[in-house]
Amino acid sequence: MRSFLWLPPLLTAASLSLAADLTAEQPDQVAISPGQCWVHAPVAPRPVREEVEVVVQEPSVRYSVTPAQLQEGVQQIVTREGVRTYRVIPATYKQVTEQVLVKPEIERSVVVPAVYEERDAVLTVEQAKTVLEPCQAAGTRYARSGAIALCAKEIPAREETVQVRVLVTPETTRVVREPAVYETVTRWVVDQPAQVIELDVQPELTTLAKVETVTPEQTRERTEPAVTRTMSVTRYQGEPQVALRQAVCDSDLKPDLISRLQAALNRRGYTLGNVDGKLGKRTISALSEFQADQGLAVGAVTYESLEALGIR
């Protein structure tokens, strides 16, 4: 009758429980034959090493500057500019005395009154007149017919002597001239007018030392490429787990098998020293390192490790 699980007697109760859980997780049941040895060993995430190019210095732009070439010399500097200016000769004056009209001549008319003379004059105050007065004439005195005689009587004029003013010289006008009024004034008049004389003022110069640029400064640009470094980067595939693996029993760990294991590890670069056919700490350490790198169960000489190393 075949048994499905055989565990070494050194496993604890906790290990038995863990083994049962792991066995339940396997997709198929594992057939275990008598005389086989099995181990619960951790399977670490498989390290995957790759070369990565890392930029340790980014590309940059560099500049090189060629200084300017200078030459010493001299130059003249205008310290005071020349200019066209003007000089003014002021005017000269002289004193003169003159009569200034302050009131012009005025003509006005004056009335010459009339001249009268007192004289006696006979003035007829009542002219002579003829009047009819009743009278006896032509027999009317005795007549009984009612006729009345009228006789014409001249009454002489009545005169009076009066004093009258007789115009001798009529009233006239005459022109009266009022002479102009002058005042004597002393004043200054221009004897010689001002004159403007044009002058040219020459510039003032000074000599200074001068440095001239023969060749100007030049700036050159160059691009520095990025500096890279190749580095070994280890990534891990998978998750850590515990696996049940068939191991080589102690009775089967013959020196020949151990020697071949040691030689295979040495060839793979896992240096463990001399190949002596003895399973010691250095051999187990090298084997564990190989198992971890390959993603195998770590810590025991398992058949999957021997197969991975090409040991039959």
Burial class from Cβ neighbours inside 10 Å (0-12, 13-18, 19+) for residue 162 reads exposed
Q: How many domains does the chain have?
A: 2
Residue 182's pLDDT is 86
SS3 category, 255: helix
Specify the length of the chain in residues. Answer: 312
149 belongs to a structural domain: yes
Last residue of a domain, one of 170, 187, 206: 170
Q: What is the pLDDT of residues 149-175, one digit of tens each?
A: 677 778 888 888 888 888 888 988 888
Query: How high is the pLDDT of residue 136?
Result: 63
Instruction: Report yes or no on 75 lying in a domain.
Output: no
Q: Which two tokens stand for residue 257?
A: 């098998």
Task: Give residue 93's Cα distance to chain centre.
Answer: 62
Which of 225-229, 239-243, 305-309 holds the top average pLDDT? Answer: 305-309
Q: Please indicate whether residue 22 or residue 67 has the higher confidence score (pLDDT).
A: 67
Q: What pLDDT sits at residue 38?
A: 92
Percent share of the chain, pLDDT over 90: 19
pLDDT grade for 147, boundaries at 50, 70 and 90: low
Please state, in angstroms and rounded to a whole number, the distance separating the CA atoms of residues 146 and 143. Answer: 7
Instruction: Identify whether 165 is part of a domain.
Output: yes
Residue 230 lies in a domain: no
Compute the mean pLDDT over every residue in the chain, rounded to the nearest whole number: 80
- 218 occurs within a structural domain: no
List Cα–Cα distances, 277 to 63, 174, 305, in angstroms.
66, 181, 17
Instruction: Specify the pTM.
Output: 0.39
At 16 the three-state DSSP class reads: helix
Q: Where are the beta strands (DSSP E) in 33-156?
A: 37-43, 46-57, 60-66, 69-80, 83-89, 92-103, 106-112, 115-126, 129-135, 149-155
- Contact, 306 vs 256, CB < 8 A? no
Number of H helices, E strands in the chain: 4, 18
Is position 45 within any domain? yes
Most trustworthy range by pLDDT among 20-24, 119-123, 226-230, 261-265:
261-265
Q: Which domain holds residue 143?
A: 114-170
- Residue where a domain stops, chosen among 148, 170, 192: 170
Predicted pLDDT of residue 17: 38
Angle, helix 255-267 to helix 281-294, in steps of 10 degrees: 50
Amino acid present at 310: G
Lowest mean pLDDT among 142-146, 174-178, 238-242: 142-146
CATH number of the domain where residue 243 is located:
1.10.101
- Flag whether pLDDT at 66 surpasses 60: yes
Q: Domain end: 170, 189, 210, which one?
A: 170
Classify residue 257: in a domain, yes or no: yes
Q: Specify the pairing of strand 37-43 against strand 241-247.
A: antiparallel
Residue 215 has pLDDT above 50, yes or no: yes
Closest CA to 33 of 1, 73, 81, 68: 1
SS3 23: helix
Within a domain: residue 77?
A: no
The whole-angstrom separation of Cα 225 and Cα 220 is 16
